[in-house]
Structure 1
Amino acid sequence: MFSSSPRIGVISQARMTSTRLPGKVLLPVAGQPLLHYHLARLQQSELPLYLAITSNATDNPLADFAAATYLPCTRGDEHDVLARYHQCAAEHELDLIVRVTSDCPLLDGQLIAEGVRTYLRQADPRLYLSNALERTFPRGFDFEVFSRELLDEAFSHAKLPSDREHVTPYIHQNRSGRVRFQHITRTPDRSQYRLTVDTADDFTLIRTLIEDFGAAELSGDELIALLDVHPELVAINQHVEQKKL
């Protein structure tokens, strides 16, 4: 059981050395870096926000951005992102963690808030809740909610490099055998839409949506409705294949 007022935080991971589009999270759109839009959307959740970046000098621009925007920032190993999350959660004494990635500039903060409320109603620290394992939302709306208990367990027992780099496989593959799952799904399914930034074409779509369609001010449902009636926008990055874990 959680305490009556668990400490909840959204931890977003970021790095400047993306293999397909280096520096993507600070690429400018309408005079602001993509990371600005990502954080502004997360603020709609009304939850505390934290940034987890690497200790490499290449990520100093991200640390500078965090300092300039008064965003708490944890720095750690480039490849052991699980350790970075664990360090951030420990530093801020979090009981419940929402995991997102910073290459999703148009995620839905209100959807995340509802996911957290759903999680808290369960009062079960063995619960893992996500909208990404059973994918029905656009890629780029992804979030995961899990307890500090599950994070501590993964940090202590996960051994595979893929478990450490991708943070939650130990949890969502139920390696302990004691995890309970809840999936947030959407009807109708819109998992074919891609609103994450991993390639130049992804960036072109996001820039077009923000600069020409005011997407930064739209709700998640409004964004999906916009893509429903503009197949030419969907086509911009429809061919992009997501990198495999």
Structure 2
Amino acid sequence: MRIVAIIQARVGSTRLPGKVLMNILDKPVLWHVVQRTSQSKLVEEVVVATTTNEADQAIVSLCQAQGWLYFRGSEGDVLDRYYQTAKQYHADVIVRITSDCPLIDSEVIDQVIKTFIEGQPKLDYSSNTLPPRTFPRGLDTEVFSLSTLERAWREDANPATREHVTPYVYRHPEKFQLQGITNNVDYSYMRWTVDTLEDLTFVRKIFEYFGNNGFTWRDVLYVLNEHPEWLKINRHVQQKVVP
């Protein structure tokens, strides 16, 4: 079973263009996402899935400079981009990560993968984003089989949901075996993702506190318990709704 993490990344963004290349501790946001995803014990390969848009040559150049695996595909049809990337890199199981989550955590990734692998009956999809959501936004991890991805790719005819890759899967529990992962404490009110400058300011504070990438999401919770005022930086930011 070949487990491949695919990180979708593009320069274009409606609220914060170029955010994935903005720096945290002198490294791009995308660099931190790749590094922290690579700390997973269960992921065998990490691939950046970017687009054929000329603007995303900057992402390709970063991948080449860092020696990262990458794939270029459709900008709007992200479901197709994932499917083509998964086929290109012979993935049996796909871990979906987005490039605006520099605090993504390998412990959480492995927890979702383990749930997927050990699920009885056999699972098609596992995630820590299914209701009730209990993890901070920014630790979002989805795991699904190639056959699940292929079925969604084949059957989902809605461009709006194809842009978000997995809605067809988790909105059809009659077709797919789903399993959510929850934390025993609800931290879903926390925003650890980067959609706005306020989000970036918040995440930079976290990284500057530690000075490196060697911390876990539980370490972040400890720091926020010491500095609850930091949560006010981006508390007002609204999460975009998936159509």
Do these two structures clear the TM 0.5 threshold for a shared fold by scoring above it? yes
1:174-223 deviations in Å (ceiling 9; x for gaps): 17x22111111011111111100000000001111111344732211111
Equivalent position of 2:70 in the other structure: 73
Secondary structure at the residue paired with 1:187?
A: coil
What is the rounded CA distance, in whole Å, between the counterparts of 1:72 and 1:79 in structure 2? 21
Which of 197, 215, 229 matches 1:218? 215
Equivalent position of 2:203 in the other structure: 206
Equivalent position of 2:3 in the other structure: 8
* Deviation at residue 125 of structure 1 after TM alignment: 5.5
Equivalent position of 1:3 in the other structure: none
State the one-letter code of the partner of 1:186. N
1:59-88 deviations in Å (ceiling 9; x for gaps): 001001111111111111110000000000
What is the rounded CA distance, in whole Å, between the counterparts of 2:72 and 2:201 in structure 1? 30
What is the rounded CA distance, in whole Å, between the counterparts of 1:7 and 1:125 in structure 2? 16
- Correspondence 1:197 to 2:164: no
What is the rounded CA distance, in whole Å, between the counterparts of 1:82 and 1:115 in structure 2? 20
State the one-letter code of the partner of 2:96. R
What is the rounded CA distance, in whole Å, between the counterparts of 1:214 and 1:189 in structure 2? 27
* Deviation at residue 161 of structure 1 after TM alignment: 1.2
TM-score (norm 2): 0.94
TM-score (norm 1): 0.93
- Correspondence 1:133 to 2:119: no
Equivalent position of 2:169 in the other structure: 171
- Correspondence 1:112 to 2:109: yes
* Deviation at residue 10 of structure 1 after TM alignment: 0.4
> Where in structure 2 are the equivalents of 1:118-157 lying within 5 Å?
118-122=115-119, 126-134=123-131, 135-157=133-155
* Deviation at residue 123 of structure 1 after TM alignment: 6.6
- Correspondence 1:34 to 2:47: no
Unaligned runs of 5+ in 2: none
Q: Does the CA-based 8 Å contact 2:2-2:93 persist in structure 1?
A: yes
Q: Does the CA-based 8 Å contact 1:125-1:150 persist in structure 2?
A: no
- The 1:68–1:106 alpha-carbon spacing in structure 2 relative to 1, beyond 3 Å, is same
Equivalent position of 1:89 in the other structure: 86
Give aligned pairs, total: 239
State the one-letter code of the partner of 1:35. L
| Bigger Cα displacement from structure 2, 44-53 vs 205-214 | 205-214
Unaligned runs of 5+ in 1: 1-5
What is the rounded CA distance, in whole Å, between the counterparts of 2:149 and 2:60 in structure 1? 24
What is the rounded CA distance, in whole Å, between the counterparts of 1:190 and 1:235 in structure 2? 14
Q: Does the CA-based 8 Å contact 1:98-1:146 persist in structure 2?
A: yes
What is the rounded CA distance, in whole Å, between the counterparts of 2:128 and 2:11 in structure 1? 26
State the one-letter code of the partner of 2:200. F
1:155-184 deviations in Å (ceiling 9; x for gaps): 111001122100001111117x22111111
Q: Does the CA-based 8 Å contact 2:25-2:211 persist in structure 1?
A: no
What is the rounded CA distance, in whole Å, between the counterparts of 2:156 and 2:123 in structure 1? 17
* Deviation at residue 241 of structure 1 after TM alignment: 0.3
- Cα RMSD after superposing both structures: 1.4
* Deviation at residue 45 of structure 1 after TM alignment: 0.6
